[in-house]
Amino acid sequence: MTGLTHVIVEADGGSRGNPGPAAYGALVRDPATGEVVAQDGKTLGIATNNVAEYSGLVAGLQLAEEYAPDASIEVRMDSKLVVEQMAGRWKIKHPDLQPLAIKAQGLAPFGTEWTWVPRAQNSAADALANMALDGVPIPLKPEAPGSGPAVTKEPSDLRKALQGWGPQAEPPTQLIFLRHGETPHTAEKRFSGSGGDNPGLSETGRLQAQAAAEYLSRIGGVDALVTSPMVRTRQTAEVVAVKLGLDAVVDDGWREVAFGDWDGHTFAEIQQKWPDAMNAWLESTAVAPPGGESFDSCARRARSARDGILARYPGKTVVVVTHVTPIKLMVRSVLQAPMSSLFRMELRPATLTEIHWYADGLASLRSFNTDPLRPKI
């Protein structure tokens, strides 16, 4: 047990023959110090490269579960196939990979980040796999400098943050999240998720959307516009689209979390009618309202929607018209804050939150809850 709150899992695998003699290598790294917490490498007999890579992933997640059980995880692999399949963007069709993928999914905690890296940045895991194939004993940890495969020390969290201020080889993908304008439910502070009444904008909401569109027009440089399919977001996006001369692309991944039976009710009404369910919901983001969706589930689809934008619009500026919960989940992810932080953020209608994602996987929060109708003091 290490007490770490965040770790990096690096994994690789290979086959000399494909299929042929195969092995995997995996390690768990403390991102603050670069120290290898634990490592492993084993032969698999005759297998394909893909089976070996998945086996390395499973081994790395098992090491993280044993040596950093309470930590959040970022997985780094040079296998595009494994990363895309585990992130949910590619289907897993090969029967030999499906059981391994299911096992990996069961080991990966909620919020696991899946990052593809060039082969040169995955040399430590690759070296472990080759050591196993060559019959070299692998210690649980490198015993001294030079005793294990070469590793690259990870920068501290502070240095990572500062990297966003320095020169970058590639421009970041800039996501500007715009919360929809006010609806009748917004004004009355009623729960309003997907699957409920799906209200449209009020007159105030339309004025707010117009102000946001004017603001985005002034700052300029927007390359694409994406919107949740719900009425209030599509109406907000229509105003922005006209002002920016862009077509809005609808993406279901950005819809609001579903509140089920609670939809249309106020917090006080829910506390009175569903007190036990409300308490359970407040205590765990894995708990869904009756007939609704958990924050954990919403986070998974929002993360997939984000990854889709990063893949389609690398280095571009994209406005995403969405809702309170997806925006808070994006902010929480970038700040690596606990899920309980969702209850400590407040987003006004038609406000803007900007996050930059860099090609190396780093991200930075540039602004939060910017209100075009409230001039800066």
Is the pLDDT reported for residue 239 higher than 50?
yes
Give the whole-angstrom CA distance, residue 224 versus residue 221: 9
Q: Which amino acid is at 12?
A: D
- 256 catalytic? Reply is yes
- Dump pLDDT digits (tens) for 273-297: 999 999 999 988 889 999 999 998 8
Q: What's the pLDDT tens digit per position in 44-92?
A: 999 999 999 999 999 999 999 999 998 899 999 999 999 999 988 899 9
pLDDT of residue 26: 97
Topology of 6-154 in CATH?
Answer: Nucleotidyltransferase; domain 5 (3.30.420)
End-to-end CA distance of the chain: 49
CB contact at 8 A, 216 and 240: yes
The confidence band for 335, taking pLDDT boundaries of 50, 70 and 90, is confident
- The two structure tokens encoding residue 285: 């983001």
Comparing 20-29, 132-141, 321-330, the range with the smallest average pLDDT is 132-141
Catalytic option among 238, 256, 293, 354: 256
pLDDT > 70 fraction of the chain, expressed in percent and rounded: 91
- For residue 162, pLDDT over 80 is answered with no
CB-side neighbour CA atoms (13 Å) of 274: 20
Domain range summary for the chain, segments of one domain joined by +: 6-154, 173-370
Give the residue, 151 or 176, on which the prediction is more confident: 176
Residue 19: is the preceding peptide bond cis (ω within 30°)? yes
The mean per-residue pLDDT over the stretch 192-205 comes to 93
C-beta contacts of 92-95 below 8 A and 24+ residues apart: 94/50
Which of 148, 165, 160, 110 has the alpha carbon at shortest distance from 26? 148
Q: What are the pLDDT digits (tens) for 97-122? A: 999 999 999 999 888 999 998 888 88
Task: Using alpha carbons, list the distances in angstroms from residue 36 to 30, 69, 171, 338.
Answer: 6, 15, 31, 24
Name which of 143, 115, 111, 104 is nearest 24 in CA terms: 104
- DSSP element (H, E) containing 317: strand 317-322
Q: Which of 10, 53, 113, 180 is catalytic?
A: 180
| Listed range (1-15, 144-158, 167-181, 197-211) with the worst mean pLDDT | 144-158
Largest CA distance in the chain: 72
Average pLDDT over residues 20-49: 93
List the CATH code of the domain at 173-370: 3.40.50.1240
Residue 285 per-residue DSSP state? T
Choose between 311 and 73: higher pLDDT: 73
H-type helices in the chain, by residue range?
A: 49-67, 80-86, 98-107, 123-133, 157-163, 184-187, 203-219, 231-244, 267-273, 275-283, 295-312, 324-335
Mean pLDDT, residues 172-191: 95
Percentage of the chain exceeding pLDDT 90: 64
**Could you tell me which residues come within 8 angstroms of residue 231 by beta carbon, excluding any fewer than 6 positions away?**
198, 199, 200
Q: Is 180 a catalytic residue?
A: yes
Confidence of residue 340 (pLDDT cuts 50, 70, 90): confident
